[in-house]
Structure 1
Amino acid sequence: MRSDQWVIRELPNAAARGEIAAFFQSQVDAATGDTVALEALSRWIHPERGVIPPQEFIPVVEESPSMDVLGDAMLRAACTYGAELVAAGRRIEIAVNVAAVQLAQVGFADRVERRLLESGQLPELLTLELTEARPSPPSASAELHRLRSLGLGISLDDVRTVDEADFRAGGLPITEIKVDRSIIERLPEDDEAAVELVACARRHGVRSVAEGVETERQWDAVRRLGFDRAQGFLFGRPMPPEQVTERLDAEAAGPGQSEL
């Protein structure tokens, strides 16, 4: 039996059992350094195996119906926490990953609208990150245009080249390009690809986000090159919502009150 068979066997019911949890990672404004968004990242809290990171189970199921179930659980969690932040007086955007198998489902936009209504999350504070390095299914364009008309953001995740960005963005109402960590980790010594991708984002009239910022030198380069936002371990690792709230409280209290 393949070593990942247990994932295929157990994941479909993990969400129903309450084992899928959302951790959140900060995204900061490149001009101010303030936290302006949070990306929801899945963790599987397995009763026997402990906390399982997404790289150990998502690649196994991303082409299967289980991915749709997992994605819906994350959408619920993202909307719920986003609404809690709004209720507390914090207008912070929440981003959630969306796989091609979800976009291919009939009624995807209807489901997103339901989750917004159920939670009370503001549409303009929710961004859908398209994770596939291939074009979205043909049926997705109308669904995404409909959601964009409500105010949702549409992001291309893990972009590595200008050609890829143009290829994936074709016909979609994107609002953001997230530049892959493999580009950011080469900064500041090799900035050619980053420069081209920032220019590409500007040409499309969308926001540019640097992923995987881990050092002060990379952060300096990201700001110098004109990125709009940045995300990475330098600004904090993914953490459960209660810890994020504590961190935001500390940030609001003033300089020196929050640890990265």
Structure 2
Amino acid sequence: MTRRILHLAITLCLIAFLVSTLLILFEFVAEEYPVVAESRRQSRELTGLPKRFNLSLKAQPLVVKETIPLFNVTNAVYSRYLRLMTADFYDGEKWSFRQYSEAVQYKGERLSFQVKGYVYYQKSRVKITPIRLIEGFLPTSLYTERVELSSELTYYPESNVFYTREPINQTYEFSTIHFYFTPEKLKSAEVIEDRRYLQLPEKLTERTRELALNITAGLESPYEKVKALENYLRANYEYNEDYRFAPPNWEPNDWFLFEEKKGVCIN
């Protein structure tokens, strides 16, 4: 019984997490921040990156008045997207970053990662050339092992993200590792029972619970459940900047899933 309850909690957490963050991961470059030049080996220009993220599900709809280039990306051969930070606390409406106590000073040293079970890996060295000042978290990718920048940086080991206290306009490079796993290995992986990522909104609706269980019915592994949730969201919801945010006293996940069915990264 305890194991069944745990699996139910994990399933519900997965859908709550995916609803609010899946598009951040998979559409970061492809949708909200389009790539101007198509060739992966040529210089690419990313546009539209907001200065600050509002990760609230009740945020006002995004209105893009103009497209402003922010920086050029060169040699991102294997990177599917760049990221600034990763949120780790969900209060039912928004995700926030709460890893401040783990910050360490970064001086350009090479970092290592404890990754197991991969079949092979590839490395790349990506160059970022600012067009406008970059402030706060630096655009990098997962498993960045080194950042080459003369400015002083703060590093958050758990998220593998880097922060600059002073705005920068100089070109920098970062080295990143891309690990590859077989489908069999992914299916055999277990969920790490970290309570920060197993949170559920207190006002989660019953039909949201039922939807999560229906989508993942008959699936055993956490990986298969995640892929099922991902595929369902991709097939049934529209990425659209013209959306209505949740009305007062309406649970935001429920509103997005059953009423509005369109939105952007924060939904």
**Higher RCO, 1 or 2 (CA under 8 Å, sep at least 6)?**
2
TM-score normalised by the chain length of structure 1: 0.25
Q: Which has the larger radius of gyration?
A: 2
Structure in which a larger fraction of residues adopt helix: 1
TM-score normalised by the chain length of structure 2: 0.25
